[in-house]
């Protein structure tokens, strides 16, 4: 059976590691990106050099028409999407009194509406086949509050709620929907915190280190694949024991 994966926000960080991992699993991979076309092309070349099949597509996941166009392009190139990994997201530290209306809207548009847009784009073929897997990427701050990250945390809580509800809704059609909640992962997104803060976060993690994008990629590959065929509606926390 042909396996085709769409990974949003895949040019860097967690999405990049997921694309590599799924390509090794034999998936044809679509690398979605918004700004870093150079990194997307670099990753595509790397995967193809290793014998994989890949394509890149620029789309803002907050734009439903762009997402539908992306889904159509993937289907035309590789066939129906069998695995959606909704990874694209934005984060930042900001106190609630400083949150501007445009910021509030953009966070929810990308982190929550973006997931909805991608699900709607891939769902018709999954429903027709009565098969498919969807994995959202939330955060440990989507399971617990986070000081100065109330906006980000709110979107990630909403994402988990949407994931669990969709799992119930789509289970009769044979479609599984799960979530991975990363802890502190060593990506560009967290490097802005500075080395001192990152060292403190590593010390606060029982396993004694920050997570790697590859740690999340392994969790995604498991939940997205047949070894997890009886798992749906779950949130897999990958945080080195950070939340205890």
pTM of the model: 0.95
Catalytic residue from among 23, 152, 179, 237 = 152
The predicted pLDDT at position 146 comes to 85
One pLDDT digit (tens) per residue for the chain, 244 residues: 689 999 999 999 999 999 999 999 999 999 999 999 999 999 999 999 999 999 999 999 999 999 999 999 999 999 999 999 999 999 988 999 999 999 999 999 999 999 999 999 999 999 999 999 999 999 999 999 888 889 999 999 999 999 999 999 999 999 999 999 999 998 877 777 778 888 888 999 999 999 999 999 999 999 999 999 999 999 999 999 999 7
Give the start-to-end residue ranges of the domains of the chain: 4-91+108-139+156-238
The superfamily CATH assigns to domain 4-91+108-139+156-238 is NAD(P)-binding Rossmann-like Domain (3.40.50.720)
Q: Is residue 107 annotated as a catalytic residue, yes or no?
A: no
DSSP result, the chain: ---EEEETT-SSHHHHHHHHHHHHTT-EEEEEESS-HHHHHHHHHHHHHTT--EEEEE--TT-HHHHHHHHHHHHHHH-S--EEEE---------GGG--HHHHHHHHIIIIIHHHHHHHHHHHHHHHHT-EEEEEE--GGGTS--TT-HHHHHHHHHHHHHHHHHHHHHGGGTEEEEEEEE-SB-SHHHHTT-HHHHHHHHHHSTTSS-B-HHHHHHHHHHHHSGGGTT--S-EEEESTTTT-
What pLDDT score was predicted for residue 1? 60
Tell me what pLDDT residue 139 has: 96
Specify the pLDDT at position 92: 87
């Amino acid at each position: 059976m042909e396996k085709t994966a769409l990974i949003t926000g895949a040019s860097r960080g967690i999405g990049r590691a997921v694309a590599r991992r799924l390509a090794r699993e034999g998936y044809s991979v679509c690398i979605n990106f918004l700004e870093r076309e150079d990194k997307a092309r670099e990753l595509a070349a790397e995967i193809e050099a290793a014998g994989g099949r890949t394509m890149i597509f620029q789309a803002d996941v907050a734009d439903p028409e762009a997402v539908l166009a992306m889904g159509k392009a993937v289907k035309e190139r590789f066939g129906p999407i069998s695995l959606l990994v909704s990874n694209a997201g934005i984060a930042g530290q900001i106190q609630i009194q400083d949150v501007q209306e445009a910021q509030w809207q953009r966070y929810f548009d990308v982190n929550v509406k973006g997931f909805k847009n991608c699900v709607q784009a891939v769902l018709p073929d999954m429903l027709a086949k009565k098969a498919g897997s969807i994995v959202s990427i939330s955060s440990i701050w989507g399971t617990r509050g986070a000081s100065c990250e109330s906006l980000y945390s709110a979107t990630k809580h909403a994402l988990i709620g949407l994931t669990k509800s969709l799992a119930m809704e789509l289970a009769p059609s044979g479609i599984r929907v799960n979530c991975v909640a990363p802890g502190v992962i060593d990506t560009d997104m967290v490097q802005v915190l500075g080395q001192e803060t990152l060292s403190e976060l590593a010390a606060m993690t029982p396993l004694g280190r920050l997570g790697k994008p590859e740690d999340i990629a392994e969790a995604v590959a498991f939940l997205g694949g047949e070894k997890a065929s009886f798992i749906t509606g779950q949130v897999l926390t990958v945080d080195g024991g950070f939340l205890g």
